[in-house]
Structure 1
Amino acid sequence: MFGALSLVVPSGYSIGALLLLLGGLALPLLRPGLSLSRQDWLVMLVMALYASIFMLMAWLNGDGSREFDRPSRFLLAIPALLLIMGYPPRLSVMWSGFALGAIGAGSWAIWQKLFMGISRASGYTHVIQFGNLSVLLGILCLAGMGWAALQPHRKSWLLLLALGAAMGMIGSLFSGSRGGWVGFPLILFVLYRSYGQVWSTKWKAAAVLAIVVGGGTVFALPQTGVQERVFQGVDDISRYVSGETQNTSLGARFEMWKGASYLIANKPLFGWGENGYKDGIATLAERGAVNPVILQYSHAHNDFIDTFAKRGLVGLTVLLLVYLVPMKLFGEYSRHADLEVRSVAVAGTLLSVAYIDFGLTQTFLGHNSGAMMYAFLLAILWGIHSRHRKQLA
Structure 2
Amino acid sequence: MQIHVTLPRFIWFLAAMTFAAAIGIPKGFNVTTLLIILCSFAMSCFKPLAQPVDKADKALIWTFFVFGLSLILFSLADHLEMRGLDKPSRFLFVIPVVFLLLRTKGHQEWLWYGIVVGALLAFALALYERLVEGVSRASGEEHPIMFGDTGMMLGLLSLVASIYFFSQKRFYWLAVALVGSLAGIGTSVLSGSRGGWVALPLITAFLLWECRELLGKKRLMSVLSVALVMVVAAVAIPQTGIQKRVGEAVSNISDYSQGAKSATSVGLRFDMWKSAIYMFQQAPMLGVGESQVQPIKRELSALGEINPRAVPYNHAHNEYLQALSTRGVVGLILLLAMYLIPLKLFLHKLRQYKHNWRIRAYAIGGALIPMCYMDFALTQTMFMHNIGVMMFAFPIAYFWAALRWTEREERPAAA
User: What is the TM-score with the length of structure 2 in the denominator?
Assistant: 0.91
**CA distance, structure 2, for counterparts of residue 326 and residue 390 of structure 1:** 20
Partner of residue 2, structure 1: 18
Secondary structure in 1 aligned to 2:49? coil
Q: Give yes or no for contact 1:88–1:383 (8 Å, CA) kept in 2.
A: no
Q: Give yes or no for contact 2:162–2:177 (8 Å, CA) kept in 1.
A: yes
Partner of residue 4, structure 2: none
**CA distance, structure 1, for counterparts of residue 176 and residue 52 of structure 2:** 35
Partner of residue 326, structure 2: 310
Deviation at 1:392, TM superposition (A): 6.0
Q: Does residue 382 of the first structure (1) align with residue 400 of the second (2)?
A: yes
Deviation at 1:125, TM superposition (A): 1.1
**CA distance, structure 2, for counterparts of residue 23 and residue 4 of structure 1:** 19
Deviation at 1:219, TM superposition (A): 1.5
**CA distance, structure 2, for counterparts of residue 266 and residue 15 of structure 1:** 41
Partner of residue 28, structure 1: 45
Secondary structure in 1 aligned to 2:311? helix
> What's the RMSD between the two structures over aligned residues?
1.5
**CA distance, structure 1, for counterparts of residue 109 and residue 410 of structure 2:** 20
Secondary structure in 2 aligned to 1:29? coil
Structure 2, unmatched stretches of 5+, are: 1-16
Secondary structure in 1 aligned to 2:336? helix
Q: Give yes or no for contact 2:50–2:102 (8 Å, CA) kept in 1.
A: no
Structure 1, unmatched stretches of 5+, are: none
Deviation at 1:215, TM superposition (A): 1.3
2:285 to 255, 260, 269: 269
1:370 to 373, 388, 392: 388
Partner of residue 286, structure 1: 302
Q: Does residue 104 of the first structure (1) align with residue 104 of the second (2)?
A: no
**CA distance, structure 1, for counterparts of residue 403 and residue 102 of structure 2:** 8
Q: Give yes or no for contact 2:49–2:99 (8 Å, CA) kept in 1.
A: no
Q: Give yes or no for contact 1:63–1:273 (8 Å, CA) kept in 2.
A: no
Partner of residue 54, structure 1: 71
Q: Give yes or no for contact 1:51–1:75 (8 Å, CA) kept in 2.
A: yes
Deviation at 1:90, TM superposition (A): 1.9
Deviation at 1:197, TM superposition (A): 2.0
Q: Does residue 39 of the first structure (1) align with residue 56 of the second (2)?
A: yes
Partner of residue 159, structure 2: 142
Secondary structure in 1 aligned to 2:263? coil
Deviation at 1:146, TM superposition (A): 3.2
Deviations 1:99-138 (A, max 9, x none): 0000100111111112221110001211100000011111
**CA distance, structure 2, for counterparts of residue 242 and residue 98 of structure 1:** 44
Deviation at 1:10, TM superposition (A): 2.4
Matched residues, number: 392
2:185 maps to a residue whose letter is M
User: What is the TM-score with the length of structure 1 in the denominator?
Assistant: 0.96
Partner of residue 186, structure 1: 202
Q: Does residue 297 of the first structure (1) align with residue 313 of the second (2)?
A: yes
1:77 to 94, 105, 120: 94
Deviation at 1:12, TM superposition (A): 1.1
**CA distance, structure 2, for counterparts of residue 174 and residue 370 of structure 1:** 19
Deviation at 1:63, TM superposition (A): 5.2
**CA distance, structure 2, for counterparts of residue 373 and residue 179 of structure 1:** 17
Deviation at 1:296, TM superposition (A): 2.0
Deviation at 1:257, TM superposition (A): 0.6
Deviations 1:43-70 (A, max 9, x none): 0111011110011110011152111111
Of 141-150 and 114-123, more deviation after overlay is shown by: 141-150
Partner of residue 223, structure 1: 239
**CA distance, structure 1, for counterparts of residue 132 and residue 237 of structure 2:** 16
2:377 maps to a residue whose letter is G
**CA distance, structure 1, for counterparts of residue 235 and residue 222 of structure 2:** 20
